[in-house]
Amino acid sequence: MRPLCLLIILFELSGPIFGQSGIRDSFPDPYHVKPWLSLSLTAGAFLAQPIGLERNNRKPEISNETLENLVRKGVHGFDHIGLTQDLSKRKRAGKLSDYGMIFGVFSPALLFLDRKCRHNWLDFIIMHGEAQALAATLHTWGPFGPLVIDRYRPVVYYEDAPLNERNFGALRNSFFSGHTSVVATGTFLTAQIYLDHHPELKGQKWIFYGLATLPPAWVAILRVKALRHFPTDTVIGGITGAATGLLIPWIHRKMQGRMNFSLIYGEETKGMGMILRF
């Protein structure tokens, strides 16, 4: 969350440097963004994260009997790869995956290199905040995240690992990979915003989606090597993040000129109204 806040602050300060006068007329904005509404929803989602994370991390400690049963049963199929990693390299892989996640958060900064995208800096900052807030909410509070699904992290199965790294409750939160989701959200959002500003590249969109896949794939491999997730955890995280990164621009693109909000205030009625044209 901190890198994202820093990203927003830096981009806000960058606005006067790049300027917007005259450029918007040359490059129309493809999105319909209501800053006050989007920022309110984003802030609310991020404020709810510490509560969900605390609940997920307060799961019961894993008993010795459970550890023994897990080791005996093992994991089958594709996820068995998670049990064949080098235990001594887990910490280094974990640090590298953290750096990869930071890259994912800051990846939309690449849009400043493009003249057509640059003038819409506020829109894509807001959309990036929305996308990361949605991704975080799906991971922390979603029905297919650790709040509902208990899955032991790979390190739990390694008998040679220290006991204090194998038995605490948060090790039940393997499904799904939040790191991979964050990176995929950032890179796919970046790719989609770039494509929306360059409709002439529509026929080459799969090239950009392919490039957007590389950073989360790298982080996914590192998360497996770090013994934090099984391969399927990272695959689901990547798919969730990619879908989120594509969904937010799509929503704002489809709502262009179709959605309007207004405050309603009267003696008998107070509230907010929304008009959506189909």
pLDDT at 43: 87
Cα–Cα distance between 250 and 18 in angstroms, integer?
26
Which one, of 83, 66, 89, 93, lies nearest residue 169 by Cα? 66
Number of domains in the chain: 1
Which regions in the chain score pLDDT beneath 50? Answer: 1-25, 261-265, 269-278
Q: Quote the mean pLDDT of the chain.
A: 84
Rounded Cα gap, residues 146 and 44, in angstroms: 20
Tell how many helices (H) and how many strands (E) occur in the chain.
10, 2
Query: So what's the pLDDT on residue 82?
Result: 95
Question: What is the model's pTM?
Answer: 0.81
Q: Domain of 106?
A: 2-276
Q: What is the pLDDT of residues 7-55, one digit of tens each?
A: 444 444 444 434 444 444 456 678 888 888 888 888 888 888 888 888 8
